[in-house]
Chain A
């Protein structure tokens, strides 16, 4: 019996040594967290909680200014790409009926809005290649041409243009997602 137990232990030790080979299941966490916040550029302690455009004329354009744009607090410990995408989710019915969701496009149209970003210093150039894509994914275009380095907090300015025609008079909320991708 002792021989059997010793033999079993020897087999177990061999197995343990063998298991400590390069092909062991193992995990390496390179970056513990991804962490970004959207803040008011003028008062970085405050969240960027509202860009209230109010009532807008058809095709009206509004730009974020030098003092009221977005500061992205970058708490990531790795260079990141910042990307955006936008869409309008289904809005609740209003007195005018069920609203038709506005779609993001390269140029405004009926129920099609247009949002675009630029970055760095104000006034920055709103390049047409930086129109917010409208899919459920951010797409390949990044906000900054190079990855955002650790400790750098980029500033983003948005421009928004109301559709040239609307099917309803309901209030609309456009959603812009700012995503950090290592």
Chain B
């Protein structure tokens, strides 16, 4: 007969919350949502801002940071952004744990290292950083800031850009003396891709915009209505491409932008159309 020490059937188990008094009930992290455009491909790059964790307690806290794809925590996220292909590309300069002294903040610069391939230009990716304090307690508050990343634009890549459809370039600029531009849409699948295109400006109600007007290029309703697309319905044969022409008859007096919304593929995609009066 075998005996295990201390294995008598027990009437009681314990679910005592011993350390709860040291637990972390509040969390404040910056930024909450951020969009970065023009991210270089093939270069380990600082994104020029830190992830900051604010420790408002009298204890030293360690924050654990984990980079996760949107699909790991959401069924649907911001239109226009696909999940980052590899979460290891985005990282903190000081590693995935930050130590914050009492009543201070811990911060570390955010960096990205996208492999050098034409596939990764013209991309719009979403990614979360899950920030969890590492204190033992029953209930802990955590947050997951959202990063929307747009890689450098490359008009004529040697291989089709990632995405369905692949888009090159994913952003164009029209000017008074340059009123037309072309964009290539690539179908990298083995079936016909039927797409619907429309000019678009996101809902700008606070907190609900799914795509941001980056920099000083404001969304402009008149410009949205003032430029035209050569085709609003596009059918791309398998492993083929089509050229889309964009032109404007409207000439704003200040910098602005609007979007071309592409629907019909597994995820909604966008082309940014800028206007520069200079």
A residues lining the B interface (CB < 8 Å): 17, 21-39, 47-58, 70, 72-73, 75-79, 81, 83, 89, 95-97, 113, 136-140, 150, 160, 162-163, 165-182
Name A55's contact: one of B12, B28, B141 (CB within 8 Å): B12
Interchain CB contact (< 8 A) of A39 among B25, B74, B208, B278: B25
Q: Given A31-B33, A50-B21, A140-B73, are A56 and B15 neighbors across the interface (CB < 8 Å)?
A: yes
Q: Does residue B125 face the partner (Cβ distance < 8 Å to A)?
A: no
Tell me the B residues contacting A by CB distance below 8 Å: 5-7, 9-21, 23, 25-40, 47-49, 66, 68, 72-75, 128, 130, 132, 136-146, 152-153, 171-173, 206-209, 212-215, 217, 257, 272, 274, 276, 278
Partner of A57, one of B11, B20, B172: B11
Determine the chain A residues whose CB is within 8 A of the CB of B257 once the complex forms: 22
Chain B residues whose C-beta falls within 8 Å of the C-beta of A182 in the assembled complex: 32-33, 144-146
Taken together as a complex, chains A and B put the C-alpha atoms of A172 and B19 apart, in Å, by 11
A31 CA to B29 CA, complexed, in Å: 11
Q: In chain B, what residue has the closest Cβ to A149?
A: B207
Q: Is the CB of B6 within 8 A of A96?
A: yes
A sample of 15 cross-chain residue pairs with beta-carbon separation below 8 angstroms, ordered by A number, consists of A17-B278, A22-B272, A27-B48, A27-B214, A30-B209, A31-B33, A34-B28, A35-B143, A47-B26, A49-B21, A51-B139, A53-B17, A96-B6, A163-B13, A174-B15
Residues from chain B with Cβ under 8 Å of A172 in the complex = 13-16
Q: Are A179 and B130 in contact (CB under 8 A)?
A: yes
* Alpha-carbon distance between A178 and B146 when the two chains are bound, in angstroms: 17
Are A47 and B25 neighbours in the complex by a CB distance under 8 Å?
A: yes
Residues of A near B32 (CB, < 8 A) are 30-34, 76-78, 182
Q: Is the CB of A97 within 8 A of B207?
A: no
Indicate if the CB atoms of B47 and A140 lie closer than 8 Å. no
Given contacts A22-B173, A174-B138, contact A35 B28 (CB under 8 A): yes
Of the candidates A55, A78, A113, A179, the one whose C-beta lies within 8 Å of that of B33 is A78
Q: Closest chain B residue to A96 by CB distance?
A: B6
Count A-B contacts at CB 8 Å.
242
A28 and B28 in contact (CB under 8 A), knowing A137-B73, A179-B143?
Answer: no
Return the contact of A171 from the options B14, B75, B142, B207 (Cβ within 8 A). B14
Instruction: Please give, as numbers and ranges, the residues of chain B lying within 8 Å of A39 by CB-CB distance.
Output: 25
Known: A173-B136, A181-B73. A53 touches B15 (CB 8 A): yes
Task: Pick from B10, B34, B172: contact of A30, CB below 8 A.
Answer: B34
Contact at B33–A30, with CB atoms within 8 Å? yes
B214 close to A179 (CB less than 8 A): no
Tell me the bound Cα distance from A140 to B48 in angstroms: 31
Q: How far is the CA of A26 from the CA of B34 in the complex (A)?
A: 11
Asked if residues A27 and B36 are in contact (CB atoms below 8 Å), the reply is yes
Tell whether, in the assembled complex, residue A79 and residue B17 are in contact, meaning their CB atoms are under 8 Å apart. no
- Within 8 Å by CB of B20, from A23, A30, A50, A113, lies A50
A180 to B146, CA, bound (A): 11
A47, A51, A58, A78: most-surrounded residue (chain B CB, <10 A)? A47
B69 to chain A, nearest CB (A): 10
Shortest CB distance A116–B (Å):
14
Contact indicator A137/B130 (Cβ below 8 Å): yes
Q: Are A22 and B28 in contact, CB atoms less than 8 angstroms apart?
A: no
Question: Does the CB pair A50–B136 fall under 8 Å?
Answer: no
For A169, list chain B residues within 8 Å (CB). 6, 10, 12-14
| Interchain CA distance A53-B27 in the complex, whole Å | 25
How long is the Cα–Cα vector from A142 to B72 in the complex, in angstroms? 13
Task: Given A27-B35, A178-B140, decide whether A138 and B73 contact each other with a Cβ distance below 8 A.
Answer: yes
Q: Which of A23, A53, A162 has the most B CB atoms < 10 Å from its CB?
A: A23
Q: Decide if B140 touches A25 in the complex (CB within 8 Å).
A: no
Contact, CB under 8 Å: B37 / A177: no
Cα distance A140–B172 when bound, in Å? Answer: 36
Given contacts A21-B173, A33-B29, A47-B26, contact A179 B14 (CB under 8 A): no
Q: Which residue of B lies closest to A22 (CB)?
A: B274
CA distance A141 to B231 in the complex (A): 40
